[in-house]
Chain A
Amino acid sequence: MKLETPRAHATSSGFDTNQLVLNMGPQHPSTHGVLRVVLTLDGERVVDADCVIGYIHRGIEKLSENRSWTQIILLTDRMDYVAAATNNLGYCETVEKLMQVEVPRRARYIRTILAELQRIASHCLWLGTHAMDIGAMTVLLYTFREREFVLDLFEEFCGARLTYNAMRIGGLPLDLPPGWDKKTRAFCDLMETKLEDYEQLLTNNRIWIQRTRDVGVISGEDAIALGMCGPPLRASGVSRDLRKDEPYAAYDEFEFDIPLGTRGDTYDRYLVRMEEFHQSIRIIRQALDGLPEGPVMGKVPRLIKPPAGETYHAIESPKGELGYFIVSDGKSTSPYRFRVRPPSFCNLQALKRLAKGHLIADVVALIGTIDIVLGEVDR
């Protein structure tokens, strides 16, 4: 990576002015893990922001080409580790598409519920850390308290709390435990009241609005050009949600709205995600109401060996479009090529563009608003 050396130039008053190169990260409290941003500063104003990634690169894509198709589910857990279930879902559906396996309707419903619970958990984490970065420390504790309930639900379903390994190619490993739907309904009710609490703390808070309004504005066209996806794209007014546009799992059977922003600033991105909480709850309720009976595992051969061919399948993860490109040679028990299109990585590209001209304090707000998980950026 090429770094611009700070230019020294004499001003008319005779003083030398320098641009300050500041290393933000990888051990900075607000870079959400191990992101390193090399900031070029003029005073506190950001002239340039270069992202340096790769500190948590584990070679998941290459590793996957040497693992059996079932083992890869475990690896996908470790990409976006705060939304492991959606990673599982994306991968399993891609392989199912490759193998043309029919997934039972009940399994598709449960997958939808899990994915939406995961969205709530992931957005909880986003909201807490985003508010924390801007200085409102209490929201973090509140959202983590509610996230804990989601983790409890997942623990009851599959035994794990972070890396779930919750899905299998062709369906689910387990059916829902008895009473789980009741607990999930109770959680939905609870979450709605808690969302009001968050909104009271932030939505109409003068300081919050001042800190987020008109910070990091990006138009719809620019957002598309930068390859942005998910809530940051929708906050710029582009209606692109794979749950509606290219329905997967059981999303075509539910009613829900796609919140859109108008200005494309940090406050809009906040509002969009806050509304997505409500829509997720709405989807979960519908899915629980209409949960069909039946098996949760489709007919899949014992040894999974998809026919030769390649496929790309994308789902709407909490962070945006999560796509898997998989090539199978039809002979081996592992993929020939495995490639992930991570939403965090694509959204992170926008940081340089968003941060230019803003202050350091805005940079942390912007890192928060694009909601990155470094495990997914680096893979």
Chain B
Amino acid sequence: MIDTIVTPLLKIAILLNAVLVAVTFLVLMERKVIAWTQSRLGPMRVGPHGILQALADPIKLILKEDITPAKADKWVFTLAPIMSLVPALVVFAVIPFGADPLYYVSDINVGLLFIISMTSIGVYGIILGGWASNSKYPLLASLRASAQLVSYEIAVTMTLVSMIVTAGSLSLVEIVEAQREAGVWFGFIQPVALGLIFIGGLAETNRVPFDLPEAETELTGGFHTEYSGMRFSLFFLAEYANIIVISAIVVIMFFGGWMRPFPNVEVLSFLDLIPSWIWFVMKIFVFLYVFIWIRATFPRYRYDQLMGLGWKVLMPIAIGNLVVTAIVKVLL
């Protein structure tokens, strides 16, 4: 009874809270890092160096009036933000923060497949939200989101297949263990795949330079033009939760997950004093920073250029990478 119901529920409660709090602070981190890039200070008013801004923002958004446009499709309009947030949070169930079963909610044997399918569902929130708004800019944004989805999803999935071939498993825990056995992070074995997944991740999370469905300067906010208050912020919770998910996937598949650097070298065993989940979070932070760094630096792609990139560049490379990986795997 305790093992089957109470412990998992407790873990889920802790994990959900941790993720949501992390997301609010990720927004703060983004604002701070971009501010520093742009030689300004960022939020400074709420709390020391603006740290409490992370709490002030959600409070403000909850208290704001939640408007549903008169001509919107009310059901879908309400459902869309939920549809984009829930898959983003569900994915965390299979992400392992350590080798011990204590550190993950579940280790299902098709973990990677689960992640792929869940993150694909998330896009429907954007598509439906743009459609249900019954407004022209969100409509264009949802069309862009659909076009974007098919452009990068194939390349990303193909690349993940090559990673499955490399690791020999779909389970995230076993992928990490395979890196311990191989004695090297897969990021060094599969640098091409790393690049593809990262670019695909940028597109997946609608981040600059692929933030086309949002495109504030073109579509005035895109799919969330008509959203306000908490429903608006649900979209953002989803976006930032997705960023964490993508960073976590990259860390798990390419940088040894929760393991310390060189897990097979005895000399460095003092590094084990740091718990596994802290290693994991630290690695994730590096990638979160890269995400933000890219946002501060790059202009935005045009959506036909993104489709060109997805179909003509990323997909052939991904397929080629898969073929090469398979051949190497058979020969060795």
Contacts and interface: CB of A to CB of B under 8 A. Distances in A.
Interface of A: 20, 22-23, 28-30, 43-44, 131-138, 141-142, 145, 201-202, 205, 207-208, 210-211, 359-362, 364
Contact of A134 (B34, B300, B304): B300
B7 interface: no
Given A359-B304, A361-B215, A361-B218, A138 B299 contact: no
**Residue of A23, A202, A361 with most partner-chain B CB within 10 A:** A361
Interface string B17-56: 0000000000000000010011110000000000000000
A136 B140 CA distance: 21
**Residue of A20, A30, A207 with most partner-chain B CB within 10 A:** A207
A71 B296 CA distance: 45
Given A30-B218, A141-B40, A359-B304, A44 B140 contact: yes
Contact of B302 (A138, A145, A210): A210
A207 B217 contact: no
A132 B209 CA distance: 12
A82 B216 CA distance: 24
Given A135-B211, A207-B209, A362-B302, A201 B217 contact: no
A135 B209 contact: yes
Closest 7 CB pairs of A and B: A135-B300, A141-B38, A136-B299, A135-B299, A134-B299, A30-B217, A361-B302
Contact of B218 (A43, A136, A205, A360): A360
A211 B298 contact: no
Contacts of B317: none
Given A136-B298, A145-B39, A364 B136 contact: no
19 contacts: A23-B136, A29-B216, A29-B217, A30-B217, A30-B218, A44-B143, A134-B299, A134-B300, A137-B38, A201-B297, A205-B298, A207-B300, A207-B301, A208-B299, A211-B301, A211-B305, A361-B302, A361-B303, A364-B217
B144 to A, nearest CB: 8
B219 interface: yes
Given A207-B299, A210-B305, A135 B208 contact: yes
Given A359-B304, A360-B140, A361-B302, A135 B217 contact: yes
Contacts of A133: 217-218
B220 interface: yes
Contacts of B302: 210-211, 359, 361-362
B2 to A, nearest CB: 51
Contacts of A359: 302-304
A191 B136 CA distance: 42
B303 A138 contact: no
A44 B143 CA distance: 9
Nearest to A41: B140
A364 B302 CA distance: 11
B206 to A, nearest CB: 12
Contacts of A202: 299
Contacts of A208: 299
Contact of A360 (B209, B219, B296, B299): B219
A44 B217 contact: no
Contacts of B304: 359
B195 to A, nearest CB: 14
A137 B35 CA distance: 11
Nearest to A209: B299
A211 B212 CA distance: 13
Given A207-B209, A361-B302, A138 B296 contact: yes
Nearest to B35: A141
B299 A131 contact: yes
A142 B220 contact: no
B298 A29 contact: no
Contact of B301 (A131, A141, A210): A210
Contacts of A138: 34, 37-38, 296-297
B38 A142 contact: yes
Interface in B58-99: none
Contacts of A23: 136
A299 B305 CA distance: 62
B299 A211 contact: yes
A30 B220 CA distance: 9
A136 B297 contact: yes
A266 to B, nearest CB: 12
B146 to A, nearest CB: 12
Given A29-B220, A210-B305, 11 more contacts: A135-B215, A135-B298, A136-B299, A138-B297, A141-B38, A205-B299, A208-B299, A211-B305, A360-B219, A361-B300, A361-B302
Interface string B289-309: 000000111111111110000
Nearest to A133: B217
Contacts of A364: 217-218
A315 B209 CA distance: 40
A229 to B, nearest CB: 26
A22 B38 contact: no
A42 to B, nearest CB: 12
A155 B303 CA distance: 44
B218 to A, nearest CB: 5
A202 B300 CA distance: 12
Contacts of B208: 135
Nearest to B219: A360
Interface in B135-150: 136-137, 140, 143-144
Contacts of B295: 137
Contacts of A210: 301-302, 305
A100 B197 CA distance: 71
A359 B298 CA distance: 20
Nearest to A44: B140
A193 to B, nearest CB: 14
A77 to B, nearest CB: 28
B39 A207 contact: no
**Residue of B217, B219, B305 with most partner-chain A CB within 10 A:** B217
